[in-house]
Chain A
């Protein structure tokens, strides 16, 4: 039951909400649309549900276009950001609402309700009204309701937005395990990169109505294809540099610094300008004044953010720029071993370096 989105575009007046988006989502896949507010991810989701119709392009499920179908005839169900549980109905009636529209018999409907309530472990709450449930419980009921019709495609609109952080972490994993148990193809819209990475098999990063990169969480994090995706997911150090030599490895001269960078990226040609991208956790921080060489920069500690498991250290380089390094707090006194204005050396492996085109 693959879902194909083919060259879909949608404008509201002068705003191009979605521009020429194409995606293929495989059967059983959990796919995340990740992007900031106004990037078009919600519009795309609403087009799949049938609440908006695209100006051009096509949406196919199992090869058949669903664009001509109104929302109530699509085999697509959505879990709304506000959950949209019907306040005047009990949990049971809320869940039964979908199957009842299909004209199932009373017994079949009751079986469906039991089945999904068991799936989300909410059997005890079947007679309650939504207002008598906590946020996490409401979310489970909303999920159960959207699964009760056994849809070909499940849409989750910012599923964790209404939950507090601790509950969010737990519900992310739980929701994934329920969705995987059912085996339904699922598209999640979220602005939270951690949520996207925790929950999905693949992620599409959207910006200004366009898809910027599609890949597994690891691909997106380790090999961002542009400055936008690199900066959107996690934090990253970007240093402008020019290629001076390319052989088995590429050598670059950093701008406003004497140091050179060596990396394994062999696409680069001599004289080209790039951004050298290094994730903070791949930067090693040393208090010893090591011999200057390639992939080595000196500086002083500008700021330390102690986060418990690790500390984020901001190092002011000799050219005044700030570079981030993560220091794992392996020993309990790790934090006390460094101090503000202390001279340090930053170094990294050639394998950790990624080159990103400057003009992006």
Chain B
């Protein structure tokens, strides 16, 4: 009993101690990241004065939310086809290709997309320059895979007779989808959206490949500034991020509990 508690404490420490250090040092007055001098919040003010970081943050936010929206639409379509259409020619290849980006190394995805964009530019003159749009397209291509996995598992466990019942009661296929299927898989779509948002916000490798001059996402800005020496501003930024993630994951946990079948929310009937 005691041993397991020690092990548990050790595990948590291993996972979260670095984060705690980071949060503590974000309130460090010193210019040197590794030397503690005294408590201060000046780096937080410095952070908000740094236009490059703020612009990177806003760009990342824009790309992430657009990516999440687009991949949720395409991912849901792909899941619906995979789960509901039964067997069709090329189904195995389709399902394989849909989820392949899950295991594809980022470097390869990034490089291949870069080659595609360059090639397209030569062929049809579009995209004329790489930037936010190309990053968005690149992020959508790999986020679809994650959304598809989440949404299709929910679709698969949904009682198929619900759709039949709606059809039996006089609703055509389109109505059935929007009035029955969509509300029931909505929790999965929402968590797919959050997942895509996070992945896009977090991506550095693929974005670096397909980005152009003037379009630097937050991870790119941080990475390049860290190469010149770690500024305590980054600690402050990271702390803000940790707090945001804490709030949003608590919210999504709360939402998931609220809409669980046991409390009469969205779920399967027996």
Contact = CB atoms under 8 A, between A and B. Distances in A.
Interface string A33-76: 00000000000000001110000000000000000001111001
A102 B165 contact: no
B170 A83 contact: no
A83 B269 CA distance: 8
A50 B183 CA distance: 25
Interface string B156-169: 00010110111111
Give the interface centre of A71, A85, A128 by most chain B CB atoms within 10 Å.
A71
Given A51-B164, A101-B175, A87 B170 contact: no
A78 B183 contact: no
A88 B180 CA distance: 8
Size band of the interface chain B makes with A: 20 to 34
B164 to A, nearest CB: 6
Contacts of B170: 72-73, 98, 101-102, 149
Contacts of B172: 70, 72
A130 B167 contact: no
A112 to B, nearest CB: 12
Nearest to B264: A129
A308 B179 CA distance: 52
Contacts of A81: 161
Contacts of B261: 87, 131
Contact of B168 (A77, A82, A128, A162): A77
Given A72-B168, A145-B169, A84 B162 contact: yes
B131 interface: no
Interface in A187-243: none
A132 interface: yes
A78 B270 contact: no
Contacts of A129: 264-265
Nearest to B182: A88
Given A132-B264, A149-B170, A87 B184 contact: yes
Contact of A84 (B165, B175, B267): B165
B268 interface: yes
A78 B168 CA distance: 7
A85 B183 contact: no
Interface in B139-198: 159, 161-162, 164-172, 175, 179-180, 183-184
A129 B262 CA distance: 11
A86 B267 CA distance: 9
A86 B168 contact: no
Contacts of A50: 168
Interface string A113-149: 0000000000000001111100100100000011001
B164 A80 contact: yes
A101 B179 CA distance: 11
Contact of A88 (B159, B161, B164, B266): B266
Contacts of A131: 261-265, 267, 269
B165 A80 contact: yes
Interface of B: 159, 161-162, 164-172, 175, 179-180, 183-184, 261-270
9 contacts: A49-B164, A71-B167, A72-B168, A77-B169, A82-B161, A97-B166, A98-B170, A135-B270, A146-B168
Interface of A: 49-51, 70-73, 76-78, 80-88, 97-98, 101-102, 128-132, 135, 138, 145-146, 149, 162
